[in-house]
Amino acid sequence: MNRKLRVGVIGGGIGGAALIASLRQRGMEAHLFERTAAFREVGAGVQMSPNAVKILYALGLRDTLVRLGYVPEAVIGRHWRTGRENFRTPQAGACRRMFGTDCYHLHRADLLAMLVNLINPRQVTMNAHCISVTNHGQTAVARFSDHEDFEADVIVGADGVHSVVRDSLFGAEAPLFTGNICWRAVIPAALHPEFISPVTAVWQGPNGHVVTYAISGGNAQNIVAVSETPHWMAESWHVPSSREEMLQAFAGWHPDVLRELSAAESVFKWGLFDRDPMEQWSKGHITLLGDAAHPMLPFLAQGAAMALEDGYILASLLAVPGIDATEALQQYEAERMPRTSRVQLSARARGKRFHLTSPWQQFKRDFSYKLKTILSPHAAGQEAHWVFSYDATAFRPSGRRVASSVSAPEPVNG
């Protein structure tokens, strides 16, 4: 078969949009189905580490990223009550020297819009509620409650942690609540310029942590505040909250943290749900991508990055002339599953390390930060060299890797 594969993508989040954009760059017009009336990203900031930035560069989004993003000077770890600096990991310039690109912080809505702008609107169906997918001989079929069936050589489920496609393939199994609630909010610089900081601050305390960093070219400060709780009562995985509720969860923390939380507006809270790594993503002509395959806890800040990597790798395989669809999906799993499984488990372990309750355990953790900082400032805090150094743009379907041609612009803190 020498014709181009017909591809259907269920879900118009970051992963689905990245896959469609990557396929279109390769001359393939796949079709995207999104259940909402408009593309939208719930949340606030998102961290784009070098492994993700290289993909955005390869998609032609370098200038847009520089304009809308923010390059942090460093990541600083602080004690939740005293404010003591436990580690400082340089980023601006340092990431470019080590990994080929800088790190950028973005508003999630900006990231999604960048990707959607690369998609042909004629290849998108909104308000499309997928109810099931099935294999049908040499094709796959997606069924919708309010649209005609769609048949394709490949159907990709990019429909999130509560994936209908995943349930169709492997049976319904609810994700597990992790005992963590995550509040997200944004502080506009126009109202509170004093909170816009050139560094990412990570405040680690018992049963919780708070991360703050600049987004939107330095025009806003993003807040991510995570606290442990035994129950998640809401039916939705994210609901409106309030700064008063968020502040109550962090009573007794350092005054700098509380002042910043007090300035937050439009606060939402998420129940953080998790799944164990899967042993299989694909059946026949159907596969999974992003959170549908490997929901990520936010403690490594890699959920969006893994979805971007998935989309770019899968597109490179589906675009191979004459490739069999099932062979492409097998190669996709072989390349992606070991990496995403490791990131999933590492994020889970980091969350436990962030939330230590014993003063002795906290002391040992913080002392290890100090020691590693002395030995190498890049070895402390993030400890993510193996994550950042991966380059999806160097992947070739044969498994052979080539040197990346991506070069980074000068850091811009607009």
Residues recognised as catalytic: 213
CA dihedral sign of residues 391, 396, 397, 400: negative
Question: Which region holds residue 217: left if phi is over 0, alpha if psi is between -120 and 50, else beta?
Answer: left
Distance CA 335, CA 322 (A): 20
The DSSP symbol for 271 reads E
The answer to whether residues 51 and 389 touch, using CB atoms and an 8 Å cutoff, is: yes
Which is nearest to 82 in space by CA: 262, 259, 204, 246?
204
The answer to whether residues 21 and 124 touch, using CB atoms and an 8 Å cutoff, is: no
Distance CA 319, CA 23 (A): 7
Distance CA 261, CA 20 (A): 37
Distance CA 119, CA 59 (A): 11
